[in-house]
Structure formats: C-alpha cells, structure tokens
Structure 1
Amino acid sequence: MVNCNTDIKFINFLQEELELTRRDIAVALRKREVENGPLPMLLWQYGLVDIEQLERIFDWLEEQV
C-alpha cells in the first residue's frame, strides 16, 4: 500500500520540479483509479511527461526508498 505522505511528496515533486499542473496530475490520478497502473507510466503514456522527465521521476522515486 502506498503511503499518503509519500504521495504528497511525489505530487509536490511533480508540481515543483517538473512543473506539471494540478490538472495534469488530476488526469493521471483518475486514470490510475480506472487502469490501476503506476502513476509515472500513466503520466508518460498520456503525454504529460517526456522520456527525460520520466527518468527524473524514476530517479526521484529511487532516492525515496
């Protein structure tokens, strides 16, 4: 199960470091509920981040472990 505090940190990272809008993040979160996929991949799949941003996301997530 995902830690709510971790989700908040991740969303802050997306907004502050990758400059994603709340709307973009909300779209991905809704898709995650329907498709039950990992949020980073959904962001990329729907064109909300590019491949370099996706790599930054994975690097950030790895640092959180």
Structure 2
Amino acid sequence: MKTSLKTRLIRFLQEELAIPYDSIAIALRHEEQTPSLLPMVLWQYGLVTLEQLDKIFDWLETA
C-alpha cells in the first residue's frame, strides 16, 4: 500500500470510523508481517466490526 494511501486510510479510520490511534498502531505493527492488509488486521484483532470493515473496503475502492 502506498504511503499516501495508507496516510489517507488512517485519517479515514480516525475521522470517519472513530477508531482510536492506539488500535491502529497495534494493527500497523502486525501489518508488517502481512503488507497491505491493515483492514484485515484491524478486524482480526477485534479492533473494527464487520460493518466497519465493509466501510473501509468501500472507501478503499474509491480511494
């Protein structure tokens, strides 16, 4: 995932879905093992709901 896209995704997660940065930081640490899968890592660790995951994927399609 390109850095600018990742930055925009993080901003979306914080501003639109109100996901705390601490939760995002946890996912970012684990994302290094599975690049470009930040949304799935957030979901895997129970940091976003399935509904939020759908919104993230919808956002990524238009980003």
Q: Answer whether TM exceeds 0.5 for this pair.
A: yes
Matches of 1:8 and 1:49 in 2, distance apart?
A: 18
Task: State, as a whole percentage, how many aligned pairs show the same letter.
Answer: 52
Give 2:16's aligned amino acid: E
Q: Distance in 2 between matches of 1:43 and 1:3?
A: 18
Q: Which residue of 2 aligns with 1:24?
A: 23
C-alpha distance after superposition, 1:6-44 (max 9, x if no partner) = 1110000000011011100000000111x3151111100
Cα distance, 1:5 vs structure 2: 1.1
**1:60 counterpart residue number:** 59
Which protein has greater RCO, CA pairs closer than 8 Å, 6+ apart? Answer: 2
Report how many residues are paired: 62
Question: Could you list the runs of 5+ residues in structure 1 that have no partner in the other structure?
Answer: none
Q: Which runs of 5+ in 2 are unaligned?
A: none
Query: Rg bigger for which structure?
Result: 1
